[in-house]
Chain A
Amino acid sequence: MNRRIGAHHIAALVAGFAFLYVPIALLILYSFNASRLVTVWGGFSTRWYGELLQNEQLLSSVWISLRVALLSGAFSAILGTCAAYALVRAGRFRGRTIFSALLYSPMIMPEVIVGLALLLFFVAIGLERGFWTVVIAHTTVGMCFATVVIHARLAEFDRSLEEAAMDLGATPATTFRTVTLPICAPAIVAAFLLAFTISLDDFVLASFTAGTGSTTLPMRIYSQVRLGVSPQINAISTLMIAAVAVMLCVAYFAIGRKGRAPAA
């Protein structure tokens, strides 16, 4: 079919993507501004990045956020794999409707409600708020996104590969380990990365569930943003964007390569 793209289509694409990307580009640009003022371009400078390294509060928050994101990303990937496997393979079972309702709700429900509910729950059972309560909160939301990603992969899975393995004498456990899991691995990695990024980004859930001493990076950024525009925030933002971009590229190539040789 002849697919020539019209001028108005190009205009829509350019305008749409400009709207999405110009603010981010400006943010990055002004992280290199020597002047403290947004409206004055004082020349290129990496001064604000240098100042970041001296901001110990910020650095300790980065460390907390990374640990929370790693743990909740891993838990989300494990629980998401189980949930997706159950949704695809368990057929119709009692509680399936409730199960899928529970899986889709945390993704779409306003964060303030989920945050408040978890906080009141932690207080009611007497669990002191801190590092682990944030991990629990992020896992609860992250596992649902992880399920969706892994579900998509499992649903298009070629079952004859498993049948072949079992015909050749593999036990169900061996088949799962040597056939099912390797084929789903790229999706599980993607699910982990998604849950990891969601955790790293979350402000609302963390501010409900974090205690003293577990202030995450978004909480620190938030309190600084409320005080006004500061080039230091631009610098940390740029670093975060760069980190996510690198991570996504690595994941893209890793998954792309594995995806081409699924049965290897």
Chain B
Amino acid sequence: MTGERASPQAEGRSARLISWAPLAWLLLFFALPFVIVLKISFSRQRDGQPPYEPVLDPSGGLSNLIDEARKFSLESYSSLLSDSLYLESYLSSILIAGAATILALLIAYPVAYAMARAPRRWQPLLVILAIAPFWTSFLIRIYAWTMILKDEGLLNHALMSVGIIAAPIQIYATHWAVLIGIVYSYLPFMILPIYNALEKQDRTLIEAALDLGATRLRAFFCVTLPLSLRGVIAGCLLVFIPAVGEFVIPDLLGSSDTLMIGRTLWDEFASARNWPGAAALAVVMLVLLVIPIGYYQRMQSAGDRP
């Protein structure tokens, strides 16, 4: 019955055929929208609906193309440079995201290490425990922290009733609260890749290093840490990239002067109704993130080669 049996080529063909559905979806609802963002970032703001002057309107045909090209405006980009609000937003987003990434790494590494060194039969449960918070609502977890951190919240109440502090310390509506919120929300993304890298390690390598006279500390820094670097980098990217564009956390836990680009973009879009400005902010944010995102993708697709 070999006649009916599908050859690898035929299977490859049908698999490629099937790929059209998800590919078409992503091209239509992911790639094309970015082309439109780019287009609108070059248009001028106006009053009306939609609140921007269309550029490169294809309805006028080819003859109109030169006229259309003249409507191109760099106004939104030049205002990004001239208004210090935007530059400060970018800078403080990167700083806050970077600090949160380092903090998350410092907390996650010992946890991931302990998970990987725990008895085998504990490990599935520990992994589930590390993933489970990801399944509960992000918004709810941030809300839990507003309950804890507010001036009249649980933390201040507890500290005051024990007598450690006399008056409430202000954490809520500061950069610290935003930092705690980001670290808390993204911690599972840091723990899991590091755990995966550590768990795969051949433990005889450590034993070899110890046999050769290395101290435990030296064995850790010369063997364990370098071998887990892939997980560390993946974890850092998974925390840093989304944290740069974070909007909910600075909005709920930060003060009005916690500038983060995601929030500035939202204000530009919703309050100022400056759609070209918001589009330009998004384009610049993407340009800043394209290197880390590209790097992460290369790491990922290196793992799924056929």
Interface residues of A (CB under 8 A from B): 1, 3, 5-6, 8-10, 12-13, 15-17, 19-21, 23-24, 26-27, 30, 37-39, 78-80, 82-83, 85-93, 95, 97, 99-106, 108-114, 116-118, 120-121, 123-124, 136-137, 139-140, 143, 147, 151, 155, 166-167, 169, 171-172, 197, 200-201, 203-204, 218, 221-222, 225-226, 229, 233-234, 237, 240-241, 244, 248
Contacts and interface: CB of A to CB of B under 8 A. Distances in A.
Contacts of A166: 1, 4-6
20 contacts: A20-B129, A23-B141, A23-B145, A82-B22, A83-B23, A86-B23, A91-B8, A104-B301, A105-B30, A110-B244, A113-B282, A113-B286, A136-B29, A143-B22, A143-B26, A221-B139, A226-B251, A237-B140, A244-B135, A248-B132
Interface residues of B, number: 98
Contacts of A221: 139-140, 143
A113 B16 contact: no
Given A112-B262, A166-B5, A172-B10, A120 B143 contact: no
A39 B157 contact: yes
A30 B157 CA distance: 14
B247 A112 contact: yes
A111 B293 contact: no
B14 A124 contact: no
B15 A16 contact: no
Given A116-B265, A117-B282, A123 B118 contact: no
A23 B278 CA distance: 34
A206 to B, nearest CB: 11
Interface of B: 1, 4-6, 8, 10-12, 14-16, 18-19, 21-23, 25-27, 29-34, 36-37, 40, 50, 107-108, 110-111, 113-115, 117-120, 126, 129-130, 132-133, 135-148, 150, 152-154, 157, 184, 187-188, 191, 203, 237-238, 241-242, 244-248, 251-252, 262, 265-266, 269, 275, 278-279, 282, 285-286, 289, 293, 296-297, 300-301, 304, 306
A108 B238 contact: yes
A124 B276 CA distance: 13
A221 B146 CA distance: 13
A114 B117 CA distance: 39
B153 A38 contact: yes
A127 to B, nearest CB: 11
Contacts of A171: 4
B152 A89 contact: no
A155 B110 CA distance: 31
Nearest to A93: B16
Interface of B is mostly: helix
Contact of B119 (A5, A20, A39, A103): A5
A24 B144 contact: yes
Given A10-B114, A23-B147, A113-B245, 14 more contacts: A12-B113, A13-B126, A24-B140, A26-B148, A86-B15, A90-B12, A97-B301, A102-B27, A118-B29, A139-B29, A166-B5, A229-B147, A237-B137, A237-B143
A204 B29 CA distance: 16
Nearest to B265: A112
A8 to B, nearest CB: 8
Contacts of A197: 135
Given A24-B136, A117-B34, A118-B33, A100 B19 contact: no
B111 to A, nearest CB: 3
A78 to B, nearest CB: 8
Contacts of B248: 203-204, 222
Interface centre among A27, A37, A110, A233 (most CB of B within 10 A): A110
B118 A23 contact: no
A5 B140 contact: no
Given A102-B31, A120-B279, A89 B144 contact: no
A156 B50 CA distance: 49
Given A112-B262, A140-B26, A26 B247 contact: no
B12 A89 contact: yes
Contacts of B145: 23
B228 to A, nearest CB: 15
A200 B14 contact: no
A229 B293 CA distance: 36
